[in-house]
């Protein structure tokens, strides 16, 4: 039905850690929990960060207890802040810029997430009636991400989300209108631990739904709107997510799947899923 094309595939919206100053490993805090083995404050470099800004345990993050790192995606904000906002001069070279860099990074990350969703909406042929407004929104947000650090810190991200969200909702409605039959609406629903094995949810609305530890194995999630859905420990084994709207890599990384799970072509099968063959749309 709906397949992502050029917009959502833009390299600017994919993390390029080699062009970043390890910002997610420094700017963001985390607490000792099931996601992290230690506590780290904002602005303090992670103990695994190497001098060249690479992660010293990247291939063993889950084994070392850093599950939280494996489900984080900056959507390209890291390299934007490093190479555009601060013109390729890192916080180690210019310590005086460190604080501003750390404060700007989360703002740009939010903006890039909005860009990602807007790009995905632009790739929906059925959403053509709102493409012009979506393009204007995309161009405006993209311009903001290229502004100065001072200007970025003044951005009201919540207000911007409030402006863009109705366009994303409309794009979703237009795309899912082509799905035959009545569509279920579970927007914002608390489905933590829900037993939904084999559920027929094609074209359903799961925006912002809590799907933590829910069993969606074998479920039909084709063309389902999952923007903002919390998929931590969601069982997606054998589920069909073909054409899922606004599905992101972090959502897949936080869930459990297998070789039978069907995922959109621009997303990657998480390494921790049971890898027995491939099953792509």
Return the pLDDT at 3. 42
Report all structural domains of the chain as residue ranges with CATH numbers, in order of start.
11-28+72-176 (no CATH), 182-281 (2.160.20.80)
Residues with Cβ within 8 Å of residue 57, at least 6 apart in sequence: 48, 64, 66
Q: Where are the alpha helices (DSSP H) in 71-228?
A: 77-80, 98-122, 131-145, 149-153, 157-176
Return the pLDDT at 7. 65
Return the pLDDT at 266. 87
Helix, strand, coil: what percent of the chain each, to 5? 35, 5, 55
Distances (CA, A) of 177 to 30, 126, 133, 272: 41, 9, 20, 35
- Could you tell me the maximum CA-CA distance found in the chain, to the nearest angstrom? 59
| Tens-level pLDDT at each residue, the chain (281 residues) | 444 444 666 778 999 999 999 999 999 999 999 999 999 999 999 999 999 999 999 999 999 999 999 999 999 999 999 999 999 999 999 999 999 999 999 999 999 999 999 999 999 999 999 999 999 999 999 999 999 999 999 999 999 999 999 999 999 999 999 999 889 999 999 999 999 999 999 999 999 999 999 999 999 999 999 999 999 999 999 999 999 999 999 999 999 999 999 999 889 999 889 754 444 44
Return the pLDDT at 197. 97
At residue 160, φ and ψ (nearest 5 deg) are -65, -40
Q: At 253, which helix (H) or strand (E)? A: helix 249-254
Distance CA 100, CA 110 (A): 16
**Is 46 within 8 Å of 25 (Cβ atoms)?**
yes
Return the pLDDT at 8. 62
What pTM was estimated for this model as a whole? 0.91
Distance CA 128, CA 193 (A): 37
């Amino acid at each position: 039905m709906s397949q992502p094309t050029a917009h959502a595939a833009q390299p600017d919206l994919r993390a390029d850690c080699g062009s970043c100053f390890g910002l997610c490993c420094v700017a963001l805090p985390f607490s000792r929990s099931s996601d992290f083995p230690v506590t780290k404050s904002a602005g303090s470099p992670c103990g695994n960060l190497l001098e060249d800004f690479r992660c010293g345990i990247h291939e063993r993050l889950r084994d070392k207890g850093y599950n939280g790192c494996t489900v984080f995606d900056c959507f390209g904000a890291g390299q934007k802040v490093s190479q555009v906002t601060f013109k390729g001069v890192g916080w180690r070279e210019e310590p005086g810029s460190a604080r501003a860099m750390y404060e700007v990074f989360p703002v740009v990350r939010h903006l890039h997430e909005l860009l990602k969703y807007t790009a995905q909406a632009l790739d929906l042929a059925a959403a053509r009636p709102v493409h012009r407004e979506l393009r204007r929104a995309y161009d405006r947000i993209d311009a903001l991400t290229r502004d100065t650090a001072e200007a970025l810190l003044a951005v009201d991200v919540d207000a911007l989300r409030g402006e863009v969200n109705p366009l994303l909702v409309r794009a979703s409605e237009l795309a899912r209108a082509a799905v035959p039959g009545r569509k279920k609406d579970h927007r914002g629903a608390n489905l933590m631990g829900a037993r939904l094995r084999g559920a027929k949810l094609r074209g359903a609305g799961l925006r912002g739904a809590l799907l933590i530890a829910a069993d969606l194995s074998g479920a039909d999630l084709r063309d389902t709107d999952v923007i903002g859905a919390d998929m931590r420990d969601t069982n997606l084994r054998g589920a069909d997510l073909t054409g899922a709207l606004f599905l992101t890599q972090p959502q897949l990384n936080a869930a459990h799947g297998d070789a039978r799970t069907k995922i959109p072509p621009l997303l990657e099968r998480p390494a921790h899923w049971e890898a027995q063959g491939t099953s792509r749309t």
